[in-house]
Amino acid sequence: MPEHQNEDATPKTANSEHAISDYYDGVKELEMQGYESGVRKARTVLFVTAALVFAGEFISASIYKITMTPTLIGIAVIESALFVGLALWTRRKPYTAIMVGLIVFIGLWVLAIIGSGFRGAIGGIIVRVIIISYLISALKPAKDWEEAKRNR
């Protein structure tokens, strides 16, 4: 009879350890889902940015009475494709993709200011500020997602 007492104690300990590890895994999974929602927002913003940049080039050309040559269309396509590529890159390296997206977006704004002066600075400023704020707000979840993924 005493030898059966030890057998009953071992499975309970193993089950409780298994329950704790399952709980811990569940918490980690919920954490990852929280980070992923921020990354998804950034991905969406990068896709929207691609569309807005593409449309913005055509709108600017029509406002300033510039003929859309194949070269200008190619530039618009390349700019948009860059943001689409960054949006897709957020699936693997979200923090880096968002940082590069911010730098490129602000760089394009600076180029617009250099090319158009004050009109380039204020043209679409509300949309630009919204895009920049969304991308900045996604940096922390993206960084946390990458760290959590690395520590798995």
What are 58-100's pLDDT values in tens digits? 998 898 898 999 999 999 999 999 999 999 999 999 999 999 9
Determine the angle formed by the axes of helices 139-150 and 2-63, rounding to 10 degrees.
Answer: 140
Q: What percent of the chain has pLDDT over 70?
A: 87
Residue 73 structural domain? 2-150
| Cα–Cα nearest to 142, from 102, 110, 104, 94 | 94
Average pLDDT, the chain: 86
CA angle (69, 109, 89) in 5-degree steps: 85
Residue 67 has what pLDDT?
A: 92
Count of structural domains within the chain: 1
pTM above 0.95, yes or no: no
Residues 120-142 as b/e (b if ≥16 CB within 10 A, e otherwise) read: beebbeeebeebbebbeebbebb
Length of the chain: 152
Distance CA 48, CA 79 (A): 13
For the ranges 9-18, 24-33, 125-134, 139-148, the lowest mean pLDDT is seen at: 9-18
Residue 117 has what pLDDT?
A: 86
Is residue 116 within 8 A of residue 91, CB to CB? The reply is no
Report the amino acid identity of residue 151. N
CA angle (131, 40, 31) in 5-degree steps: 125
Report the amino acid identity of residue 134. Y
Residue 92 has what pLDDT?
A: 94
Token pair in block for residue 26? 């569940």
Residue 51 has what pLDDT?
A: 96
In this structure, the number of other CB atoms found within 10 A of the CB of residue 150 comes to 7
In the predicted structure, residue 11 carries a pLDDT above the cut 90: no
